[in-house]
Structure 1
Amino acid sequence: MKIFCGRANPTTGAVEWVEEDEHYDYHQEIARSSYADMLHDTDRNEKYYMGIRAAVRRVKARGQKAIVLDIGTGTGLLSMMAVTAGADFCYGIEVFKPMADVAEKIVEKNGFSAKIKIINKHSTEVRVGPDGDMKGRANILITELFDTELIGEGALPSYEHAHKHLVQEEWEAVPHRATVYAQVVESKRMWSWNKLLPLRVLCKARNREISILPFSAMEKCPGAPSVYDIQINQVPQSDFKPLSDVISMFSLDFSKHVSSNLASHNVLFKPVTSGKTQVILSWWDIDMDPSGTIKCTMEPYWVSSTPHKTLWRDHWMQCVYFPPEEESIVQGESMCLTAHHDDYCLWYSIQRVRDGEDGNLPVAAVERPICKCQAHMLWNRSRFGELNDQQRMDQYMRALEKVLNPTSVCLCISDGSLLPVLAHCLGVDQVFTVEISSVSHGLMEKIFRANRLEDKIKVIEKRPELLTPVDLEHKKVSVLIGEPFFTTSLLPWHNLYFWYARTAVDGHLINNATILPQSASLYTMVVEFKDLWRIRSPCGTCEGFDVSAMDEMIKHSLNFRESQEAEPHPLWEYPCRSLSDPEKVMTFDFRQVVPEQVLSTEGSLKLIRDGDAHGAVLWMEYHLTEEISVNTGLLQILNEKGDCHWNPHRKQAVYFFRSILEPATVSSCPTDVTYSIEFNPKKGELAMNYKFLV
C-alpha cells in the first residue's frame, strides 16, 4: 500500500503529492509529534499520577471496582498508572493505529496486558456490552485530549459522548476540571502579527518619505480563525503592557455532563491602565482532583509566584488572540471580556459596559473570526510581522535605490511582496510582479489600489516559467527582484525557488540584468538547546514504566531515510547557546542560472564552548547587493555564554544529532563536528550529515 503526502517542492514553489512508503505514518508522524515532549513533562506526569491515585481511592471507598476509561491513551502511560494505583481494569482508547500498536507493546512489556485493553478506535465509535469493545461502563474517566487552546483536539465532543455512553451515572474524572484565563494587553509587537500596518519608508533618492497603506477591509478584518500558539514566556515584559488583571473566564467540570454546543462567557473588568486593546493572552490550568489541590498550570512567568522556575512545555503553550480592531480603553471604566467557543475553537470579544448593565449584561453575539480580506489566508503571523518590520523594509529600500532608475524594467517574483511598491516609488514606471495564485493576485491588487498604484504595477497571474513577451508588454527585464519569500516554503532553502524562477525567466532578461538578491549563503552552527532537545530525546522509563518502545520508533524514524532530515523551528521561541562559531558553508549565485551539477561541501565546526551539542542550526542570508544583506537566521551572539538572538520572522532548520537518541555514541567530549552538505539542483533539497570528532 502506498501513501500520498503533501510536500513542498523547492524547484516548483508548489506543494505536491508525494508517494511515500506504507510505513510513512509510523516512522514520520509519531517521531515528529509531541509524545517525547509529553513523556519528559515530569510535572504533568506526576500530577496525573497523583490525580489517578486519588480517584481510584475515592471509588474504592464507595465499595466499587475501579473500571477506568483512558481516552487518547497514546503510549498507555496513564492506563498503566491507573492499574498500578489499584484499578481493576482499564480500557485505553487510541484512534491512531501506529500509536495503538506502540501502546500495546509498552503495556505488554510492563506486564499489564491482563488488566489493560487497548482499543484502536475513536472514542465515539466504542461500543459497550457483552459483545462490545467494553464489557461495561467505566466509573473513572481519564483523558489527555487537550491542546494549547484546551479544546482544539475535540475534547468537548469526546467528553460529551463519553458522559452519555461510556461512563456510569456517577463517575470520577481525571482531570476533574479545567479553567481558562485571559489578560488584555497592548503590544505593538504582537499586534504586528495580525495586521498589515501603515509603513513609512524613507526614499533618499527622491528625498521624501513613502507611505504604504493597507486597504480598509484589511484594517477591519476579524483575522485568522485559528489561534496563534507560541512560547509566550519568550516574550519580554517590555514588549507588552497589561491593561487588565488576569481574568478567570470559565471552567469546565469533567465530572459532570459537558456540552459541545456554542457558548459564551461574560466577565466584567476594569482596566488597570489606559491603552489599546490589541491582544488577549490566554492559557488554562487543570485540577486533577475535586478540591483543586493537585494543579497543573500553563500560566506565564509574569503571573507565576516563581517566575524564574516556570515549566517548559511544547505540547501545551499559551494562546494569542486578536480582536478585529484595536480600541482605546480608559483606566477604571467598566468593560466586558467575553470568551466564545464552539466544539473546537475559542475566541474573544471586548465591549464597553453602559451604566446599569453591570449586573445583567447580555452576551454579545460574536461570530467565530473568519478572514474576509484574504490576507490571513495567505500570510501567517510571522509573515505579517516580517512585512511590518520597518528596519527590514529600510534595508530593501536602500538596496533598491542602488540598482533601480526611472528607465528600469522591473519584475518581482515573490509571494505577496511589497517590493513592487518600493520600486514604483523610486520612479520606475515599468513594474511587473508575478503572483501564482488567484487569491494572492486579488490581494495584491487591493493593496496597490489602496495606494493608488493599480495602473502603475501590473500583476501577472502565472507561474514564472509560463511568462510570455505579451505578459511583459514585449519588454526585456533589466532588474529582477525578490525578497525571496514563498508561502509554500517550510525550510530555509525552500525559498531558493527564486533561483529556479530566475532561471525560468532568463530569456526575458537583458544581458547582464541586475538580480536582487544577487546571491544567498547557507550558514550552520552547533548549538546547545535549553529545552528543545527534549522533543527528540529518549524517554527510556517514565514514572517507573518502561516506554522504550517509543524510543525505538523515533530512532527507527531517524534512520528511515538515507540521512536525517532537518526540521523547521522558530528559534526565537527556543533559547539556545552557540557552541561553535557560525560558518558559511555554501553560496548560491542568483546571477547565474541553476547549475545541473550537484553542489557539495565538507568541513568541520570547532567547538569553542562547553556544553551539550544537541544539534546544528542552518539558515540563509540573502545578499541584496555587495554591501546590503538580509539575515533570516542568527542575528547576534549576545554574550560570552553564547546566547543567541534569532530572526523572529522566519523559521530556522534544526538538525538534531543522533547522540540525543544514542548518548553512548559519544564516548568522550568532542572537539569538532564535521559536516557534509549536498545540494541537489534537480530536487532543490539539501542532504546533510554531521559527525563528532573526539
Structure 2
Amino acid sequence: MFQLKVNPVTGKSEWIVIEEDEESSVVVDLATTCYLDMLNDAPRNSAYLHAIHSTLLLFSNNHSPLHVLDIGSGTGLLSMMAARSMSHHHSSKGFVTACESYLPMFKLMNKVLRANHMNTTIRVFNKRSDELQVGHHIPSRAHVLVSEILDSELLGEGLIPTLQHAHDCLLVENYKTVPYKATTYAQLVESTYLWKLHDLFNNEANAADGIHLVPKGKETILRVKPQQLAMHCDAIGEEIRLLSEPFKVFEFDFSKRPDSHGETQVHIKATNDGTVHAVISWWVLQLDYEGLIYYSTAPKWVTPLQNNGLPSSYSCIRYWCDHWKQCVWFSKGKGLLVRKDENVCMNAIHTDISISYEFQSQSQRSEVDGHDLSPQLLSVTLSPERIAIYGDNNWRLSMLKAIDYALKEKDSPLCVVADDSVFLTIMVAHLSKKSRTIALFPGLREKGSKYLEAVADENGYSMDRVQVINSKKQLTLDDTQQKKADLLIAEPFYFGSEGMLPWQSLQFWSRRTMLDSILSEDVCIMPCKGILKGCAMSLPDLWRSRRALENIEGFDHSMVNSTLGACGGLSSSLEIPCLPFFIWQCGETKKLSDTCTILEFDFLKPMTSCHGKATVEFVDTGVCHGFALWIDWVILSTNNIVMSTGPDQRYWKQGIKLLAEPFKVTKNIPGICSAVLEASFDSSSGELSVKYN
C-alpha cells in the first residue's frame, strides 16, 4: 500500500510504501480522522442499533433471503449490527454487503470482522458504492440500506449522489433505509465573534495602519469560502444572542430518490431587536420508520420541543463529539438589521453536497456593506480564522511596529517574504517607497501575485517593486539582481496548512536555511525565534472521545485502538500522536499548570535538530488528561513583540498530547504533583516528538 506523506517543514510530499503488517505506519493517518471519535459516540451507536433492529423486523415474514447493503462501512459496525439482527429474527438466510472505499479503513474493517467471527457472514468490497454492479459484485438488489455518510452540514460527504445511485441501481423498489429521514433546522443569531470571522472589510476600517487588504469596491477579493462552517457553537453560547426561535428548513426522506437541487423560502419572526450576523444550523435524524428513534446535532440551548415537537421520549442530551458539530452561515457584510416581531424572509438552497442561505432584503439595505465581486475579478479564499487575524487591529499594530523598526536606517532594502503573508508583503511596500520585495508565496503562488497587482493602487505601491517568485525553485542572487536580502520575514502563515499542528509553521525555518546564501550579514529575520510552550490541561470531553474502544454494542473493537491512536488501557510502549484542536472548542476544559518553555528554535541560525525539556508544576486541582502545546513567535526581540498561538488565542489550533491514562493532581504540593515534558525536533524529517513523564 502507498501513502502520501508530507514533510512538515519543507512542505514537500512523497509516496512511501507501507507493508501489510506495518499497522503502526498508518496510525497518524487514521488518528487524524473522526473514526475514533465517532465510535465513542454511545448515543449514536445505540440509536443505530435499535433502528437497524426495528427496521429488519419489518422483513421478518419475507420468504426470500434478506439483503442489507452498508455503504461507507468504516469498521463494519453497522454491518455487524445488521448481521446479528438477521441471525436472531429471520428464519430464511440473509446476507450483508459492505463497501468501504478508503483502503486503510477497509483493511482495518477486515480485522474487526475476523475478531468478531463475522468475516464469512459479511461480504466486503474495497469500492465506492457506485462501482458495485448487481449480477457481478452482488447477486441481487438490497432490501435495506444502512449508512452513516453524514457530515456536520448533512450533505457534504456526498449523501445525495450516493442515495441516487443506490436507488437507481442497488436497491429493490420498496426498500427501507437507516436512517429513515433527516430534517435541518436553523436559528438567527447575533454574535460579534462570528462577524469578525468573515467581514474583513468593515473590521479593517477600524485599523489605522493605512493598509487596505480589501479596498472599497473589492470587498470580497479576500474572503471566506461562501459555505457553512462546522463549529462547536456551545463554546460561544454566552456570546450569542438569539434573534429567532429554531425553524425548519429542509426535510430529506431517504426512502425516496433525493433531488440534487432544492429551494425553499422561510418566513421567520424575529424575537429580538438586533443584527443577524449568522445563521446557525443543525440536523435531526429520524433513524427508524416508526419515528421513535432520533439523534440530534442541535446546540445545548435548543430543547426537543423546539425541534418541531419531537416525542417526549427523545432526548437531546449527547456527548461532546468532534465528528458532528453545528454549522454557521455568515450573513453578508455588517449583517442584517431586524426588529422584534419583524418577519424576515430567507431563501434556502441545497445542492447535492451543500446548503446555503440568503436573506431576500439584505442586498437592498443600506446598512450592509457586503458586495459581490464581478466574475472577472480575482477572489482569494482564506479560513475564517485568517480573516479574523487580518482584521484584528492589535495584531496589525504589532506587525506594523516590527516592520517599521526593521526598516529604519535601511536605504533601498530588499525584503524576502518567506510565507504566504499578503499583509506583510503589502506593509513593506507601503511603508518603504524605496524597498523591493520578493514574495515566495509557496501556497498562494500565481493567485497571490494577481492579488497584489489588484490592490496595488489602493496601497500606494507599484508592481515594479514587488515580485512573486515560485518558491519551488531555489532563490539565487540572479533573482535578486546580485543584492543580498536585508529583511527575511513571515508571520508565519502557509496557505493550505491552516488547522495543522502549530510546529508545521517551522517551514519558515527550513526556508530561512535554504535562503542562507542570499542573506546579508546584518539581515533582520522576523520572527527571530520560535518557543515551544506547553501546559497541563483537564480535557474530559476530548479524552473520552478518544479513549480506547472495547465493546461497542456487543462487538469487539479493541484491535483498532493502536491504529486509531486511542488513549487509555493500551501498552505504554504505544505512542499517542499529537493532534491539532482548537482547545476552546473541546468541551469542558481547565488549565492545571502554569505555562512552561520546552524548546526554543533560533531562526537566526540555519535549521538544526534540537531537544528540550521542562518541568510542569501543577497549580490547580483536577484531573489531568494531557498537555496543550503551541509556539510563541518572537517577531522582534528588541521590542519584545511576541505572537502567541496558545489556548487563550481562538484563531490558532494547538497541539494536544493526550495521556495514556489521566491522573488526579492537587495544587501546592511541590515535587509531588509535577510532570516532565520533553520535545525533540528532527530537522531531516521535520517531525517533532513529544514525550511526558
TM superposition score category, shorter chain reference:
0.7 to 0.9
- Per the alignment, residue 50 of structure 2 pairs with 50
TM-score in terms of structure 2 length: 0.82
Structure 1 residues 670 and 550: CA distance shift in structure 2, 3 A: farther
Q: Over the residues paired in the alignment, what is the CA RMSD in angstroms?
A: 3.8
Question: By how many angstroms is 1:246 displaced?
Answer: 1.9
- Per the alignment, residue 676 of structure 2 pairs with 674
State which of 139, 148, 165 in structure 2 corresponds to 1:144: 148
- Per the alignment, residue 228 of structure 1 pairs with 229
Q: 1:532·1:574 contact (CA, 8 Å) conserved in 2?
A: yes
State which of 553, 571, 595 in structure 2 corresponds to 1:543: 553
TM-score in terms of structure 1 length: 0.82
Whether 2:631 is the aligned partner of 1:620: answer: yes
Question: By how many angstroms is 1:178 displaced?
Answer: 0.1
Structure 1 residues 265 and 403: CA distance shift in structure 2, 3 A: same
State which of 3, 13, 16 in structure 1 corresponds to 2:13: 16
Q: Secondary structure at the residue paired with 1:210?
A: coil
What are the Cα deviations for residues 68-105 of structure 1, in whole angstroms up to 9, with x where unaligned?
32222222222332344345434141223443343344
- Per the alignment, residue 296 of structure 1 pairs with 295
- Per the alignment, residue 349 of structure 1 pairs with 358
Give aligned-pair identity as a percent: 26
What are the Cα deviations for residues 96-154 of structure 1, in whole angstroms up to 9, with x where unaligned?
3443343344334334456433343322233334xx44444333322211111111111
Q: 1:230·1:318 contact (CA, 8 Å) conserved in 2?
A: yes
Letter in 2 for 1:281: I
- Per the alignment, residue 195 of structure 2 pairs with 191
State which of 598, 601, 610 in structure 2 corresponds to 1:585: 598
Q: How does 1:7-406 map to 2 (within 5 A)?
A: 7-10=6-9, 12=10, 14-22=11-19, 26-60=26-60, 66-85=66-85, 86-88=88-90, 89-95=94-100, 96-113=102-119, 115-129=121-135, 132-198=136-202, 210=210, 212-216=212-216, 218-220=218-220, 223-224=224-225, 226-238=227-239, 240-259=240-259, 261-304=260-303, 311-323=319-331, 325=333, 328-331=336-339, 332-352=341-361, 373-376=378-381, 379-405=382-408
Task: Measure the CA separation in 1 of the matches of 2:227 and 2:642.
Answer: 30
Letter in 1 for 2:356: W
Q: Secondary structure at the residue paired with 2:360?
A: strand
Letter in 1 for 2:250: F
Letter in 2 for 1:589: D
Q: How does 1:602-621 map to 2 (within 5 A)?
A: 602-621=613-632
Q: 2:626·2:659 contact (CA, 8 Å) conserved in 1?
A: yes
Question: By how many angstroms is 1:607 displaced?
Answer: 4.3
Question: By how many angstroms is 1:623 displaced?
Answer: 1.6
Task: Measure the CA separation in 2 of the matches of 1:624 and 1:98.
Answer: 41
Structure 1 residues 435 and 244: CA distance shift in structure 2, 3 A: farther
Structure 1 residues 136 and 607: CA distance shift in structure 2, 3 A: same
Task: Measure the CA separation in 2 of the matches of 1:646 and 1:629.
Answer: 17
Task: Give unpaired runs (5+ residues) of structure 1.
Answer: 355-366, 635-644, 661-668
Q: 2:144·2:176 contact (CA, 8 Å) conserved in 1?
A: yes
Q: 2:321·2:545 contact (CA, 8 Å) conserved in 1?
A: no
Task: Measure the CA separation in 2 of the matches of 1:405 and 1:288.
Answer: 66
Task: Measure the CA separation in 1 of the matches of 2:352 and 2:572.
Answer: 37
Q: 1:233·1:300 contact (CA, 8 Å) conserved in 2?
A: yes
State which of 648, 651, 666 in structure 2 corresponds to 1:649: 651
What are the Cα deviations for residues 422-452 of structure 1, in whole angstroms up to 9, with x where unaligned?
4455566425241331111222332333333
Task: Measure the CA separation in 1 of the matches of 2:562 and 2:410.
Answer: 63
How many residue pairs align between the two structures? 646
Task: Measure the CA separation in 1 of the matches of 2:472 and 2:37.
Answer: 42
Q: 1:525·1:616 contact (CA, 8 Å) conserved in 2?
A: yes
Question: By how many angstroms is 1:342 displaced?
Answer: 2.2
Structure 1 residues 681 and 545: CA distance shift in structure 2, 3 A: closer
Question: By how many angstroms is 1:288 displaced?
Answer: 1.5
Letter in 2 for 1:599: C
Q: 1:479·1:514 contact (CA, 8 Å) conserved in 2?
A: yes
Question: By how many angstroms is 1:542 displaced?
Answer: 0.9
Letter in 1 for 2:14: W
Task: Give unpaired runs (5+ residues) of structure 2.
Answer: 306-314, 364-371, 663-670
Structure 1 residues 435 and 593: CA distance shift in structure 2, 3 A: same
Task: Measure the CA separation in 2 of the matches of 1:313 and 1:321.
Answer: 21
Task: Measure the CA separation in 1 of the matches of 2:434 and 2:573.
Answer: 50
Task: Measure the CA separation in 1 of the matches of 2:27 and 2:184.
Answer: 35
Q: 2:156·2:354 contact (CA, 8 Å) conserved in 1?
A: yes
